């Protein structure tokens, strides 16, 4: 059964409580997710987006219980990624000539995914579709987060169908933002932004300002994942504007991997020095080999500075650090400081290599880093504490 949002709009998506990884294994989704699809019934009937491919038959079967599929006049594909468009092939087998409204890039992507020449109607910003008492107004949102992404605004009901923007990987049966745990919701919303949208922050600000300039009333923001923003929907827009503006809190995060605990001891000593020098700063430590990589990236997003540590191995550093640095590089964090540290046995190259990688990632390099020979003794622990204190003074 669908869930009625307004007299004209019904949610007909899928809640996926079991989902634990997304984008292959690239993104952890510990709270599950949802694939939100919406059915609009005015004088014309419109389906906005579908669901992920594994649920295509279930989606079409449930949709048939909601409406005779032949009554669907139009389909809107706000984004061609398979978690949104995956049920299209199953649906189009039933209603093959139904027009699909999407951007020009959307048509290319959908053809590339499914190799079908459906009845595509390409739209651009400002184009509209009259469906009776309401209109659907299309707003292109390229690179939020794919080239084909767009928003669809429904007049009368004052609903912004925002696709991936403002969403979260968060499973809930209660559907609305005022019906869920607020702390959980915002933790997942920030994680979603940090891990997916950060590289496009300048575009986020530009697009939000463009939409706000239209002075459209918004009663609901209907996302493609997670909750529908019903209570004060503008709150998530305000958060996006903050997150997109080189966001940071008064936090320093230390990330390390370790073989025989020498680098762990270094991290703990540096952290102790940081805290002694600045009791107000939040200090967090993560072992990249055992902690969730996306949770770590969320903490990097929140931080004003990070320190990365690894022992040397085969003239380099441990693979969990290497993988994390590659992800950090892709996210293009701005206005953050960094330094490297690590233990070594003979050549001592790892810290230099880590510093070079941090520079490539766009961080402001605080110093040349610190390396400790073998296992730090009490004297070296004190040196590391001083290093932490100096690090704080430098970034202040």
Q: Please give the biggest Cα pair distance in the chain.
A: 79
186 is catalytic: no
User: Measured between alpha carbons, how far is 38 from 351 in angstroms, rounded to an integer?
Assistant: 52
Cα–Cα separations (whole angstroms), residue 285 to 52, 89, 244, 352, 375:
36, 46, 25, 21, 19
3-class DSSP state of 388: helix
Q: Pick the closest to residue 77 from 92, 63, 94 (CA basis).
A: 92
- Which residue among 83, 140, 157, 380 is the active-site one? 83
169 is catalytic: no
Q: Pick the closest to residue 250 from 271, 279, 276, 291 (CA basis).
A: 279
- Which residue among 148, 169, 170, 225 is the active-site one? 225
- Which residue among 56, 74, 101, 145 is the active-site one? 145
What tokens appear for 160 in the block?
């912004």
319 is catalytic: no
81 is catalytic: yes
239 is catalytic: no
How many residues make up the chain in this entry? 396
- Which residue among 101, 192, 240, 247 is the active-site one? 192
Strand partners, 154: 136, 159
225 is catalytic: yes
User: Measured between alpha carbons, how far is 256 from 320 in angstroms, rounded to an integer?
Assistant: 9
291 is catalytic: no
Neighbours of 214 (CB within 10 A): 10
- Which residue among 49, 56, 79, 148 is the active-site one? 79
- Which residue among 81, 188, 257, 312 is the active-site one? 81
107: left (phi over 0), alpha (psi -120 to 50) or beta: alpha
Name the DSSP class of 53: G
23 is catalytic: yes
DSSP line for 78-144: S--SHHHHTTHHHHHHHSTT--EEE-HHHHHHHHHHH-----EEE--TT-EEE-SSSEEEEEE-TTS
Cα–Cα separations (whole angstroms), residue 313 to 259, 310, 320:
9, 9, 12
Q: Which residues are marked as active site?
A: 23, 79, 81, 83, 145, 164, 192, 225
């Amino acid at each position: 059964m669908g869930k009625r949002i307004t007299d004209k709009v019904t949610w007909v998506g899928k809640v996926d409580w079991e989902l634990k990884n997304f984008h292959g294994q690239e993104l952890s989704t510990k709270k599950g997710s949802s694939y939100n699809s919406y059915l609009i019934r005015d004088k014309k009937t419109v389906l906005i987006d579908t669901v992920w491919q594994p649920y295509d038959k279930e989606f079409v079967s449930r949709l048939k219980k909601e409406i005779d599929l032949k009554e669907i006049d139009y389909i809107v594909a706000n984004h061609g990624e398979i978690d949104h468009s995956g049920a299209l092939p199953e649906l189009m087998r039933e209603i093959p000539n139904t027009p699909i409204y999407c951007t020009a890039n959307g048509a290319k992507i959908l053809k590339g995914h499914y190799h079908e020449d459906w009845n595509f109607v390409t739209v651009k910003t400002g184009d509209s579709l009259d469906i009776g008492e309401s209109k659907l107004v299309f707003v292109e949102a390229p690179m939020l987060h794919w080239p084909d992404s767009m928003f669809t605004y429904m007049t009368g009901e004052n609903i912004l169908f925002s696709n991936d923007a403002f969403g979260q990987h968060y499973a809930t049966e209660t559907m609305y933002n005022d019906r869920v745990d607020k702390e959980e919701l915002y933790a997942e919303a920030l994680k979603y932004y940090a891990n997916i949208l950060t590289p496009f922050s300048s575009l986020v600000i530009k697009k939000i300002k463009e939409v706000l300039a239209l002075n459209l009333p918004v009663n609901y923001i209907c996302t493609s994942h997670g909750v529908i923003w019903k209570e004060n929907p503008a709150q998530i827009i305000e958060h996006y504007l903050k997150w997109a503006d080189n966001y940071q809190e008064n936090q320093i995060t230390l990330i390390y991997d370790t073989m025989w605990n020498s680098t762990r001891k270094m991290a703990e000593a540096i952290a102790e020095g940081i805290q002694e020098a600045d009791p107000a700063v939040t200090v967090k430590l993560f072992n990249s080999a055992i902690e969730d990589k996306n949770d770590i990236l969320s903490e990097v997003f929140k931080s004003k500075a990070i320190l990365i540590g690894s022992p040397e191995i085969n003239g380099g550093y441990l693979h969990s650090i290497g993988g994390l640095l590659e992800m950090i590089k892709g996210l293009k964090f701005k206005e953050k400081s960094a330094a490297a540290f690590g233990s070594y046995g003979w050549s001592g190259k790892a810290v230099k290599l880590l510093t070079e990688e941090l520079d490539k990632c766009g961080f402001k390099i605080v110093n040349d880093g610190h390396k400790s020979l073998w296992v730090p003794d009490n004297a070296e622990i004190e040196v590391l504490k001083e290093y932490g204190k100096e690090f704080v003074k430098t970034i202040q």
